[in-house]
Structure 1
């Protein structure tokens, strides 16, 4: 099972649209995970229409329309992998301990908010993933998203993808 992980799209404020490289990943993904701060309903509608399965949560910048359609925390069983999604986990310092306590029933927690890619494993074995943002790099060198696979209940092949500057439509499109 192939996963596409993203967060903090902030459309249309940060970019006019999702980068074409990310959109090209949609048909290859069995599950798309969005960890909040969509900002517009159109992005949710687009990902719902182009995804085999979408798991998403609302973030702190998401208004009433998105909050009505998305939970604050989402949980899913992906072929035996216990996945959770939340937007905010608090400061980086102490994150592993806090998340391991709050999400003791999960194998993987995908989160957003900081726009900073993150990949660590807690002492309890909980894998924490933040895919960064495909549209708003803030102080990071690149806009980013992640892909991964799930086989036999195990997460593997986690890859952070860096997007080129101004990753809008390819020339000639």
Structure 2
């Protein structure tokens, strides 16, 4: 399977459109994975029309009624790809923040992550739980990427599942967005990818996407960067 991976398009608030070379790659792929912050229902519909097959997850900028799950999987060629935006760690987030917290402190208080090791832990934890136990309702709720009433029991359940999970059997790829920065790493038995921002949306330093060839349990990753 030829998988196109994109994220953080932020159309129309921070960008006008997907660059044409990236549109062509999305249209040519067997399946496209968008890992959050599409921005609007119209932008989402445009992505779905462009892609042959399509999977997406909700980002912290996406409205609640956009109709996207918080975590999803794509399975092909002996590889399990787990998609989550990566804005929160479902095993450690604060479950006491209401839907309208003080904008000056809600991100830190609710466990929203920005970059680096915290982000890596958030997406890896999600993938390890999915590989061990599947996408449970508790995990879906704990992965809500915005301030919300998240039941502490959900977070506790995910934390317990994360503790139980060993290194995955087979090939598992965790894909997240949120930071607008490209990542290709390996952490705790999981290949971890972030395609950056497909439109170069602020604060992304580059305009990027990934294509991934999945073949017999192998994962071949290619980074594509728009020439400015």
Same fold at TM > 0.5: yes
Q: Which residue of structure 1 lines up, in the alignment, with residue 160 of structure 2?
A: none
In structure 1, C-alpha distance between the alignment counterparts of 2:200 and 2:28, rounded to whole Å: 24
Kindly indicate which of the two structures has a greater share of residues assigned to helix. Answer: 2
Shift, 1:75, TM fit: 1.4
Kindly indicate which of the two structures has a greater share of residues assigned to strand. Answer: 1
The 5-angstrom pairing of residues 47-86 of structure 1 reads 47-66=47-66, 69-86=67-84
SS at 2:33 equivalent = strand
SS at 1:62 equivalent = coil
Structure 1 range deviating more: 80-89 or 99-108:
99-108
1:49-106 deviations in whole A, cap 9, x for unaligned?
222211110100011331xx21001112122211110001534125445544442216
Structure 1 gap segments, 5+ residues each: 166-173
Shift, 1:138, TM fit: 3.2
Which portions of structure 1, spanning 4 or more consecutive aligned residues, are displaced by more than 6 angstroms? none
Answering whether residue 219 of structure 2 is matched by residue 155 of structure 1, we say: yes
CA, structure 1 residues 135+97, in 2 after alignment: closer, same or farther (shift >3 Å)?
closer
Structure 2 gap segments, 5+ residues each: 88-112, 132-167
1:1-60 deviations in whole A, cap 9, x for unaligned?
111110000001112111111111123200100000000112211221222211110100
Q: Which residue of structure 1 lines up, in the alignment, with residue 138 of structure 2?
A: none
Q: For this pair of structures, how many residues does the alignment match? A: 161
CA, structure 1 residues 120+164, in 2 after alignment: closer, same or farther (shift >3 Å)?
same
TM-score (norm 2): 0.65
Answering whether residue 180 of structure 2 is matched by residue 115 of structure 1, we say: yes
TM-score (norm 1): 0.84
